[in-house]
Amino acid sequence: MLAAPAIDVVSTAPGGGYSKITGTSPATAIIAGVAALVRSKFPDLNATEVIHRMTATAIDKGDPGRDKEYGFGIVNPVAALTADVPPNRASLSSAPTPSEKAKSSPPSNNTTGPVIGFAILVAGLVIVVGAVILLGRRANNR
């Protein structure tokens, strides 16, 4: 759905310091981190609206629009946190008025979905960070 840097990403290394890592693990961690930042800044957004904000502000690469290589594009953390993003029409029961289009997505009345989504996001981030640490230890043991 989204792309993120995945080659020579600077990360913490076991035992202190930093190292460069490559692969889907650092890219996944970056995407999860941006989702956590968006969720933190906009706590009333549900998971679908967080994804909408991230995909609507991504830097389009490859073929125009969504494509197989980049999805919607490269995640843009600054734009995801600061841009005026119209509400996701799929998450609304009726079409927004012109004044609603200028606002960020409306708050959701359902609190269970966002809490579960955020918990899954945090669990995924913990798994990714654990995998990065494990892979770093393996590389140091060689």
Output the 3-class SS for 49-100.
HHHHHHHHCCECCCCCCCECCCECCECCHHHHHHCCCCCCHHHCCCCCCHHH
Residue 31: inside a domain: yes
Domain presence at residue 3 = no
Nearby residues of 103 by Cβ (< 8 Å), 6 or more positions away = 84, 87
Q: Is residue 69 situated within a structural domain?
A: yes
Q: What confidence tier does 123 reach under pLDDT thresholds 50, 70, 90?
A: low
In this prediction, residues 56-83 reach a mean pLDDT of: 92
- Please tell me the total count of domains within the chain: 1
Specify the pLDDT at position 104: 46
In the prediction, which pLDDT does 122 show?
61
Domain membership flag for residue 33: yes
The whole model's pTM is what?
0.60
How much is the average pLDDT of 94-116? 49
94 in a domain, yes or no?
A: no
The answer to whether position 95 is within a domain reads no
pLDDT of 115 reads 58
Find the farthest-apart pair of alpha carbons in the chain and give their distance in angstroms, rounded. Answer: 61
Q: Does the residue 4 lie in any domain?
A: no
- Per-residue model confidence (pLDDT) at position 40: 96
- Whether 2 maps to a domain, the answer reads no
What range defines the domain where residue 136 resides? 9-89+100-141
